[in-house]
Structure 1
Amino acid sequence: MRLLKTSLALAILAASATSFATESFNAKSLAMSGSGLAVSDFSYGTALNPALGSNYDASDDFNLNLNIGAIGSDPDELVDQADAIVDLIDRLDGQTIDTQQEIDLIKQLDQQLTDMSGDTMFVDAGLSVEFAIPNKYVATNLFIRGNAALTLTPEYESLDSEAIDRIVQNNGQFSEDDLDSRMIATGAAIAEIGLNFATKFKVGTQVISVGIAPKYQTVETIIYNESINNFDEDDFDADQYTAEDSNFNLDLGIQTAYKRWNFGAVLKNAIESEYEVVGDKPVTIEPQLSLGVGYKNSWAQLSLDVDATAAQDFSSRQDVQFARFGLELDAFNFLQIRGGYRHDLEGTYDDTVSVGLGLSPFDVFNIDLAVVAGDNDTLGGAVQIGFGF
């Protein structure tokens, strides 16, 4: 029952919580704030829209790319605060508080517990491997993707201050069991492996691309709920705090173009699925529809994507719904400069801006970097290394 209570408390406190459907850490896409579901090419676009597997040039044969990235925010150094409090508790545990030095230490403990109230940190990290085989019949991509997201927040109990005051007034003995404040971490680690199939066909004179990405998902949810004196970040993935579940799912996409304008739509996680959570009712992940428009010529690409429906944030149980804008400038297919902006229409996340740089000499090798920044000391980045054949 207490676990359910603290989970609901987290829903109120976690203003910068991490989404169950975590960010894509493909460096090309992240540099444009995750936009591009209507206009990205086959090498990285299928993570945004399965139909983009057929968006390739006649000279493209194969592409392999590796991606890794992370984004996080810990403006109050919450983990360091918690570690310092644990050290102070260990120092005072079992001591009779009858000297000025011990009184100062236990008052310091009380102040640190109070100061930590309301602080929140989050981290979201991911990696992926994408192998693309363009084909005029059915373009195919093999993908392996993994993301882990975690939010950490304290649940401060005012009774701790009252207990400390009584110990000081009575020169009593302090025990770590006198404290009721807790540390709570919630998150999920998501692994996907699947195949992406895309093809083109004509309706009159209009070329339409469609795609489907069947995938096997394994989701490990984390709800760490421990007293402050027993806090240890190394225990976040211990068995008593985690639950693992697996499901088959798929993404569906469509894309078309008119002159230099491109239009796309994607339905992510088209099959509604439930995932078990420690000490709580299962979380239901519903399909999410996103729409995009883009403009592309030989040296520039513009993209605007909007989530048509909101998705529930796992940690806070609040809705998130993103609008994303991205820009890419390409110099001679050798140097790419990118930028982007992301806004949460539901207001759960702060706005972020992104920039990136890519090098693709001779179109056989590429390295791409992305940096993301936002309010509350939010900072992240990603890197991609790719090979074309």
Structure 2
Amino acid sequence: MSKNGISLGLALAFTSLASTAASYAPDGRSNAMGNIGVATADYLVAPLYNPALLAVFHKSDDIGILLPAIGVNAKDADSSLETIMDLQDAIEEFENNPTPSGQATINGYLDDLDGNAPVNVTAGVAFAIAIPSNNVSVSLYGRGYVEAISKVTVRSGYTNSDVEVTGFGYSELGLVLAKKYTIYGESFSFGITPKYQILQTYSDTTTIEDFDLELEDADTEVTAFNFDLGAVWMKNNFRVALAVKDLLAQEIKSTTNKTYEMTPQATLGLAYAAEYFTFGVDVDLTEQTRYVELDDNTEFARVGVEFNAWHWAQLRAGFEHDLQDTMEDSLTAGIGISPFGTLNLDVAGSYGSDNQVGASASLSFTF
């Protein structure tokens, strides 16, 4: 396969991952703010972070539509994808014109790949329709993501070496209910999300010559019913929030005997949210297990800030640190454009290193 061929494979992978696709939340605003959201997300994207925030809205908000939100993150610690593309070109050239120097080039690329860390790509999509109310706020939403992990095993010669691709797909459809209360003079909001989940696994092993990241048919699938819970305490411009996602633990095992676990995840959020300035901190109180057989647990501490220019444009930045050291520290940044307070376009990017990057964008309408 040529370099153009694998590039096309990656492009198709990103498209298929986003369309088939839980913790990954593709949201241009929060992604730009270090992926915080438990105390800072607006009511339209509240289902992705904390259902209680659905009841925290402006008096002018009547209905909101998020369509779509998309995002992609990639981690390739040892630049394996670039090496594989160069190796595939070298194999094609060698098979057309076998030479000792061509064989030496191939062996050099195989040495570079030997022992490399797995490549991890995550892509997702989300939508929401929210109706805020002083009685009970309601939102119908859906989201999903897929993680694709590829691991190269180098043996004697390129024809004996292979790439194992393992994928996990998650999608959910939920109905969020939230209401604001005054208790002993203090302002609280509580929310609950009953939701339907679909968990899928993918697995494939190919030669290096034929490798791409495109995932095809799932080999196992599990459906489940689950809940998210959330609460927010508000005092002037200050907020303290707690969200617990996926109260009922789920797991799914692939045909290659890899087990993916989704355990309840609790996150504490603190924020100062004023009209033209927002600052927030999110801290995961529990680990996210993910693949049982892999050392890929994550547990994040995040911080983010937003400057709002009279509700017409926003400038955002953030930072996130994985307490489990699975992911590198990431800097995030992004902008928002919201003319007339009706159309909202948010874009974000993240950078952990040259080999760990991400991007997301979301388009929403509020009336």
* Same structural fold, with TM-score higher than 0.5 when normalized by the shorter chain: yes
Contact 1:22 1:149 in 2 (8 A): no
Please report how far the alpha carbon of residue 84 of structure 1 lies from its aligned counterpart in structure 2 after TM superposition: 4.8
Q: Equivalents in 2 of 1:62, 1:347: separation in Å?
A: 40
Match of 2:35 in 1: 34
Cα offsets for 1:150-204 (capped at 9, x unmatched): 12221223xx1xxx6xxxxxxxxxxx7xx43221222212111111110122221
Partner AA of 1:373 in structure 2:
Y
Alignment-derived partner of residue 339 in structure 1? 317
Asked whether the equivalents of residues 172 and 195 of structure 2 are also in contact (C-alpha less than 8 Å), the reply is: yes
1:51–1:254 Cα contact (<8 Å) kept: yes
**Aligned-partner SS, 1:320:** coil
Task: Supply the distance in 2 between the matched residues of 1:115 and 1:91 (Cα, whole angstroms).
Answer: 19
CA 1:135–1:351 in 2, change beyond 3 Å: closer, same or farther? same
In structure 2, C-alpha distance between the alignment counterparts of 1:334 and 1:92, rounded to whole Å: 57
Could you tell me how far 1:22 is from its partner in structure 2? 4.4
Give the C-alpha shift of residue 333 in structure 1.
1.5
CA distance in structure 2 between the aligned counterparts of 1:302 and 1:373, rounded to whole angstroms: 20
What is residue 171 of structure 1 aligned with on the other side?
none
- The answer to whether the 8 Å contact 2:168/2:260 transfers is no
Going from structure 1 to structure 2, the CA distance change for 1:282 and 1:154 (only over 3 Å counts) comes to closer
Looking at structure 2, the residues matched to 318 and 69 of structure 1 have their Cα atoms a distance apart, in angstroms, of 20
Equivalent residues in 2 for 1:313-352, closer than 5 Å = 313-314=290-291, 316-352=294-330
3-state SS of paired residue (2:146): strand
Which residue of the other structure, out of 347, 353, 368, is the alignment partner of 2:346? 368
Distance 2:24 2:94 in 1: 42
Instruction: Tell me how large the CA RMSD over aligned residues is.
Output: 2.4
- AA partner of residue 78 (structure 1): S
Instruction: State whether residues 40 and 55 of structure 1, in contact with CA within 8 Å, keep that contact through their aligned partners in structure 2.
Output: no
- The answer on whether the counterparts of 2:187 and 2:235 sit within 8 Å (CA) in structure 1 is no
1:145 and 2:143 matched: yes
Rg larger in structure: 1
Q: 2:84 aligns with which of 82, 85, 110?
A: 82
CA positional deviation for 1:343: 0.3
Give the whole-Å Cα distance in 1 for the aligned partners of 2:339 and 2:93.
59
1:265 to 242, 248, 263: 242
Instruction: Pick closer, same or farther for the CA change 1:237–1:38 going to 2, 3 Å.
Output: same
User: Following superposition of structure 1 onto structure 2, how do residues 1-389 of structure 1 map, counting pairs within 5 Å?
Assistant: 21-65=22-66, 66-74=68-76, 78-86=80-88, 89=91, 102-117=99-114, 118=116, 120-157=118-155, 160=156, 179-234=159-214, 236-238=215-217, 242-280=219-257, 282-314=259-291, 316-389=294-367
TM-score where L is the length of structure 2: 0.86
Residue 58 of structure 1 and its aligned partner are, at CA, apart by 1.6
Alignment-mate amino acid for residue 297 of structure 1: A
The code of the aligned residue for 1:196 comes to V
Cα displacement string for residues 194-247 of structure 1 (whole angstroms, at most 9, x for unaligned residues): 11110122221112111111111112222323343543444x3245xx322221
Separation in 1 of the partners of 2:287 and 2:78? 29
| 1-structure distance, mates of 2:93, 2:353 | 36
Is the 8 Å Cα contact of residues 168 and 202 (structure 2) preserved in structure 1?
Answer: yes
How far did residue 46 of structure 1 move? 2.8
- Report deviation, 1:270: 0.6
Deviations 1:65-86 (A, max 9, x none): 1211212234765345435545
SS in 2 for 1:319: coil
Q: Distance in 2 between matches of 1:110 and 1:281?
A: 31
Residue 285 (structure 1) shift: 1.6
Give me the whole-angstrom Cα distance separating, in 2, the residues matched to 1:108 and 1:368: 45
How many residues were matched structurally?
A: 344
Give the conservation status (yes or no) of the 8 Å contact 2:179–2:190.
yes
1:329-362 deviations in whole A, cap 9, x for unaligned? 1121111111110000111110001111111122
> Structure 1 length as normaliser, TM-score?
0.81
Aligned in 2, Cα 1:367/1:156: closer, same or farther, shift over 3 Å?
A: same
Q: What is the CA-CA distance between 1:133 and the residue it aligns to?
A: 0.3
Aligned mates of 1:139, 1:238 — CA distance in 2: 38
Structure-2 separation of matches of 1:282 and 1:124: 18
Identical-residue share of aligned pairs (%)? 28
Task: Point out where structure 1 has 5 or more consecutive residues left out of the alignment.
Answer: 1-19, 165-175
For residues 102-149 of structure 1, the C-alpha deviation after alignment (integer angstroms, 9 at most, x for no partner) is 333323222221112215432211111111100112101111112122
What residue identity is the alignment partner of 1:358? G
Query: How far apart are 1:383 and its partner, in Å?
Result: 1.4
- Residue type matched to 1:69 in 2? G
My pick for the range that moved more, 275-284 or 54-63, is 275-284
CA deviation after TM superposition for structure 1 residue 387, in Å? 0.9
Contact 1:41–1:52 under 8 Å retained in 2: yes
| Cα distance in structure 1, aligned partners of 2:288 and 2:212 | 31
Shift of 1:369: 1.3
Cα distance, 1:207–1:115 mapped onto 2, change above 3 Å: same
> Does the CA-based 8 Å contact 2:240-2:270 persist in structure 1?
yes
Contact kept? 1:194, 1:214, Cα under 8 Å: yes
Relative to structure 1, the CA distance from residue 54 to residue 119 in structure 2 (aligned partners, 3 Å threshold; closer, same or farther) is same
